[in-house]
Structure 1
Amino acid sequence: MLIDAADMLGQQALARFFTPLLQPVSWEAWRLGAQRAYVHLGVTGFMVRHQPAEDSIGTAVGSLPDPLLRALCRQTGDPVDVGLARSPLPQSWRADVLHAAYPHALYGQLGEAGVVYGMSVACRSGSGVSRVDFYRSRHGDSFTGCAQQGTLQLLALHLHEGAAFLLRSAGVLSEREREALAWSAQDKTIREVSDMMGISQRAVYFHLQNAAAKLQVYSTRHAISRAIELGLLAL
């Protein structure tokens, strides 16, 4: 059985692990900071899907493989999302139970990735809304203890704010990246953008890939949408 989170860490340790997550220097630092915090809580993985607004395109980051993170952004009718929309309380679940009860391949894929238990938290603030997931493998326990849930809710809020901070920091797109996105937003091909910017097609592709990476999305189309949402691109 896991030791009570508050007894195990104490308030000073909580501050030491959680506070740096609010303004991380990079996504990698944010991920590593999250791991340092949740490993003490018996958690084996996590995911944050952040949206600047309820109906906007989400950005999913965390410890899961990229295909699963992309699936979490695309999925609709997710039973966990439905539960979070109805109640502010954390949603505890088992991947195999959700996979058997609902026609969502995602939870079967999570199970194949080693996830047995999950706890999902909805975080809302002026910076947007996030779904934050914490995962445990078959060697862990379910997320049912009140103290555990309370501590993980606090960690979820720090991860939510850290993700929002990094997305705002993505405003530091270079002029070339902004220009390449702006032309692409007008349905110009790579070749046409290359001609208009006076650079090679490889350079255009490089700038578009950089912009997508900074915005934590997986395609030029999503990068354009995210840049517009963040006020980085005006059409």
Structure 2
Amino acid sequence: MKHDLYLFEDLLNSDSHEELHNGVSRLAKGMGFPSLFFSPLVDSGGARQFFHDQGQVDPEHLPARNIYTTYPESWLIRYQQAQHIRHDPVVRQATERTLPIFWDKSAKGRNVVFDEAREHGLANGITIPIHGANGEWSLFSVASDTAPYRDRLHASAFVGQIQLAAFYVNEAARRFGEAPPLAIRPLTKREKECLLWASRGKTAWEIGSILSIAEVTVVFHLTNARDKLNATNRRQAVAKAISLRLITP
């Protein structure tokens, strides 16, 4: 791997998602890892979780979501179809720590994500968690199909350069701004009311008493609002409604 900043600074000159994607591909070759992956994980408001609440995205459209990778397309499709992000120990650790994550240390015992990754040519690798200044989370991974001990030696030798590459890719992606928002169906007046009171810490029973409706009806409206906002739970739905200025607590 080259030990000069030009390898990374070229990424900052990218004028389009496609150009950055091509730059990431060149970076993968220069680093000696055929497979590289960068993706935002959670935005600063906690409202969007990539590869989780936005539905399946075709590999060719990933750059438009600020996701840049040289991973095999077969794995990108399988990962989404199986919703592996829910069980991926690397993703969980990337939102809890800042140190590099070596896959062989994360794969304690059998894990379906690692087992299937190996079938797609991703035997082992290293992931760099990136925690942004505004609370957003991203990750940067390099991987190969070599045996874990050989891959570990290679990654260990260049871990500093891998971290530097992660920060440059993250900065280049950040310059394109946030990924396009997902289409959101309009909320009804009642759904907004229920979200508003939920944002103020009221339970479904309390909201029902305030609005003079049954508790089960409140749950119905909150569930509909959650689904419309592409949120995974009530708290995320409230956070997203606030960030989109649909409600004002």
* Alignment correspondent of 1:160: 170
Runs of 5+ consecutive residues of structure 2 not aligned to the other structure = 52-66, 189-227
The whole-number CA distance in structure 2 between the counterparts of 1:170 and 1:21 is 21
Letter aligned with residue 186 of structure 1: L
After superposition, the C-alpha distances for 1:193-223 in whole angstroms (9 at most, x for unaligned) are: xxxxxxxxxxxxxxxxxxxxxxxxxxx9659
Question: Do the aligned partners of residues 169 and 49 (structure 1) sit closer, same or farther apart at CA in structure 2, a change above 3 Å counting?
Answer: closer
- Report the Cα offset of residue 73 of structure 1: 7.1
The whole-number CA distance in structure 1 between the counterparts of 2:48 and 2:113 is 18
* Alignment correspondent of 1:143: 152
**Equivalent residue for 1:101, pick from 102, 109, 114:** 109
1:47 aligns with 2:4: no
Question: Do the aligned partners of residues 44 and 131 (structure 1) sit closer, same or farther apart at CA in structure 2, a change above 3 Å counting?
Answer: same
Question: Do the aligned partners of residues 146 and 107 (structure 1) sit closer, same or farther apart at CA in structure 2, a change above 3 Å counting?
Answer: closer
After superposition, the C-alpha distances for 1:135-182 in whole angstroms (9 at most, x for unaligned) are: 1122893134544100011111112222333343748xxxxxx9xx35
TM-score norm. by structure 1 comes to 0.59
* Alignment correspondent of 2:187: 186
Letter aligned with residue 170 of structure 2: H
**Equivalent residue for 1:70, pick from 63, 80, 83:** 80
The whole-number CA distance in structure 2 between the counterparts of 1:126 and 1:166 is 16
- Say how many residue pairs are matched: 180
The whole-number CA distance in structure 2 between the counterparts of 1:155 and 1:22 is 11
**Equivalent residue for 1:57, pick from 45, 48, 54:** 48
- Report the Cα offset of residue 35 of structure 1: 1.4
After superposition, the C-alpha distances for 1:40-66 in whole angstroms (9 at most, x for unaligned) are: 111111222312238443335223334
The whole-number CA distance in structure 1 between the counterparts of 2:169 and 2:82 is 17
Question: Do the aligned partners of residues 146 and 110 (structure 1) sit closer, same or farther apart at CA in structure 2, a change above 3 Å counting?
Answer: closer
The correspondence of residues 1-235 of structure 1 with structure 2, limited to 5 A, is: 5=1, 9-11=2-4, 14-15=5-6, 17-22=7-12, 24-50=14-40, 51-53=42-44, 55-59=46-50, 61=67, 62-64=69-71, 65=73, 66-68=76-78, 70=80, 75-94=85-104, 98=107, 101-102=109-110, 104-126=111-133, 128-138=136-146, 141-144=150-153, 145-168=155-178, 170=180, 181=183, 184-186=185-187, 222=230, 233-235=244-246
Instruction: Tell me if structure 2 keeps the 8 A contact 1:94–1:116.
Output: no
Larger Rg, first or second structure (1 or 2) = 2
Letter aligned with residue 88 of structure 1: T
The whole-number CA distance in structure 2 between the counterparts of 1:23 and 1:185 is 38
Runs of 4+ that moved beyond 6 A: none
* SS of residue in 2 equivalent to 1:143: helix
Question: Do the aligned partners of residues 137 and 170 (structure 1) sit closer, same or farther apart at CA in structure 2, a change above 3 Å counting?
Answer: same
- Report the Cα offset of residue 10 of structure 1: 3.4
The whole-number CA distance in structure 1 between the counterparts of 2:97 and 2:44 is 18
Runs of 5+ consecutive residues of structure 1 not aligned to the other structure = 172-177, 188-219
Instruction: Tell me if structure 1 keeps the 8 A contact 2:101–2:127.
Output: yes
* SS of residue in 1 equivalent to 2:39: strand
Aligned residues with identical type, % of pairs: 16
Decide which structure has greater helix share.
Answer: 1
Instruction: Tell me if structure 2 keeps the 8 A contact 1:20–1:33.
Output: yes
